[in-house]
Structures are given as structure tokens and as C-alpha cells.
Amino acid sequence: MGIDSIKSYMSELLKKGQREDGRKIFDYRKIEVEVNPLARACGSARVRIGETEVLVGVKMDVTKPYPDSPDDGTLMVNAELIPLANPDFEPGPPSPQSVELARVVDRGIRESGAIDTAKLCITPKEKVWTVFIDIYPMNDDGNLLDAAALGAIVALKHAYIPKYDEKEEKVLYKELTKEKLPLTCLPVMTTFGKLDGNVFLDASRREEKSYDGRLSIATLENGAISAMQKGEAGTFTEKEVFELLGTAIEKGKELRGLIKKV
């Protein structure tokens, strides 16, 4: 079947409020969250949304702070779209897609102030903790964004700060303290697709190949929104955006429920 016939088939289904895998318009696939599957990371998570699987690891290191925020720890988010996860991913320098993925996850966390960076200061102007979040999809069956964002916040929530030997100025990477990485809130991402004017949640890879555009919305438990990003060449109307903000806040509660359970 060519992409156009798949597209018109999906469009027909969506018009009737259906999806090819039997889901309703605003249903997530089954979400599974595994906490700290990786022993070498400070914190980690494996998130499955249907057949999409993402591994997120948090590592920490001591670095010099940025001159404009001398008392704050820093955050770095990186995504490696490794060719193992999707036949369309190619080896080589970071693709625009991987840069966008990492930066959207970064903004959802950074802009919400979820990481209490003031508590990550060791010596003002000299030494602060940098939190590295690395995202590795293991299987891409669509909606890497929500899976990565969920994995990132779960990994952060269960991360412990490594020991730091102040005399030797060395991080003892293999020894984690009992001190948890300080978090203030739980931002989660919900991503909607749009195909022929029909809006839906959590696109599978087949749906992603057909959809015109997507809109990601990061929400917090207080009902605020901390990041948005429209992606791909499709468009959204004002009315659609306003309605999706409400849906994102509701769906965010579901996702946060999952985080609190694990």
C-alpha cells in the first residue's frame, strides 16, 4: 500500500473517531514505566508506549557554572536516534530531528524549573553539578517525544547524586549518595497529531508517516503549561490549539498518575 492510500484510509477512520489499532482519538497506547534499569546511571528509566521503547539515563558531573548563573547547576539534554531503533534513522552527526527532540524535552523540564538548580551548587562561581539527560530510543513506533519526556522526568525523579571528593576534586562515579536529585514538579509532554483536519493523541509510526503536523504541550501539576512545539509542515487553527491545551492538561494528570505509581 502506498503512503497516500494509507493516509486516506487513516483519514477515513479518524473521521469516524477510530484508529487502525482500535484506539479512540485521545487514547494513549499502553504505557509501561520501568525505574532505574541501568546500574551505572545516577537515575534511569525505560518507557514503553505501545511498541515504542525509549531508554533515558541521567548522569551527573561537576563542572564550572555559567557566568550569568554562578550559583546554579546546569542541565544538558541529548538524544541519539540510533539506527537500531528505526529503519529511517541513519548513523552520522545529529539530525535536525534528534536536535529538536532533545531541545523540546529540555524546554519542558528547564522552563518549569523542575530541577532545583540552586541546590546543585557546590562552590559558587566554581563548581556546580551538571545533569546530563541522554535519550536513546530502542524501538521507534511513533511518539518518541512523549516517551522521551516521560522517561526523562522518571529518571530524574529516581536519580541519586554521586559522591564528590572535595579534597581530590573528583567525582566518585561508582558511589551514589543517598541524596536524591532535587525536583520541584513533574512536567509531562502530550503530543497530538493532525491528519486531514482530524486531531488525535499519541501517533504510531504509521500515523506519523501520514500525519500533516503535530503539536506537543508540556504541562505541570498546577495546570500551567511549560512548553509547546508545533512540528512538521501541517497547521493548526486557534480553536484547535485552545481545545488541545485543555486535553493536554487532562492527559497530563493520567501520565503523572503513572509516574507516582512507580
Partner 1 sequence: MGGKFGAPDKMIIGGKRLDGRKPDELRPITIKAGVIPSADGSAEITQGETKIVVAVYGPREVFPKHMSIADRACVECRYDMASFSTPERSRPGMSRRSTEISKIMAEALMPAIYLEKYPKTKIDIYVEVTNANAGTRCAAITAASVALADAGIEMRDMVVAVASGKVDGKLVLDMFEIEDNFGSADLPLAYMLRKGEITLLQMDGELTKEEIQELVEMNIEACKKIYAMQKKALQDKYSVEKKAMPDAGEENGN
Interacting residues with partner 1 (CB under 8 A) = 67-70, 94, 96-97, 99-100, 102-103, 107, 110-113, 213, 215, 220, 223-238, 241-242, 245-246, 249
79/99 Cα distance (integer angstroms): 7
Closest CB 236 distance from partner 1, rounded Å: 5
Closest CB 33 distance from partner 1, rounded Å: 25
Cell 477512520 locates to 13
Report the residue number, 169 or 232, with the smaller CB distance to partner 1. 232
Closest CB 121 distance from partner 1, rounded Å: 13
Neighbours of 77 (CB within 10 A): 23
Neighbours of 257 (CB within 10 A): 9
Report the residue number, 37 or 223, with the smaller CB distance to partner 1. 223
Report the residue number, 161 or 215, with the smaller CB distance to partner 1. 215
Let me know the angle formed at the C-alpha of 9 by 8 and 15, rounded to the nearest 5 degrees.
85
Report the residue number, 168 or 238, with the smaller CB distance to partner 1. 238
Closest CA to 105 of 138, 71, 81: 81
Report the residue number, 36 or 219, with the smaller CB distance to partner 1. 219
For 246, residues 6+ apart whose C-beta sits below 8 A from its C-beta are none
Closest CA to 184 of 135, 262, 111: 111
Closest CB 133 distance from partner 1, rounded Å: 14
Report the residue number, 49 or 135, with the smaller CB distance to partner 1. 135
Report the residue number, 103 or 206, with the smaller CB distance to partner 1. 103
Dihedral over Cα of 107, 41, 135, 36: its sign: negative
Q: Name the grid cell of 117.
A: 538548580
Tell how far CA 230 is from the center of its chain: 15
Mode of pairing for the β-strands spanning 74-79 and 188-195: unpaired
Burial of residue 143 (CB within 10 Å: 0-12, 13-18, 19+) is: buried
Closest CB 254 distance from partner 1, rounded Å: 17
Closest CB 96 distance from partner 1, rounded Å: 4
Closest CB 94 distance from partner 1, rounded Å: 7
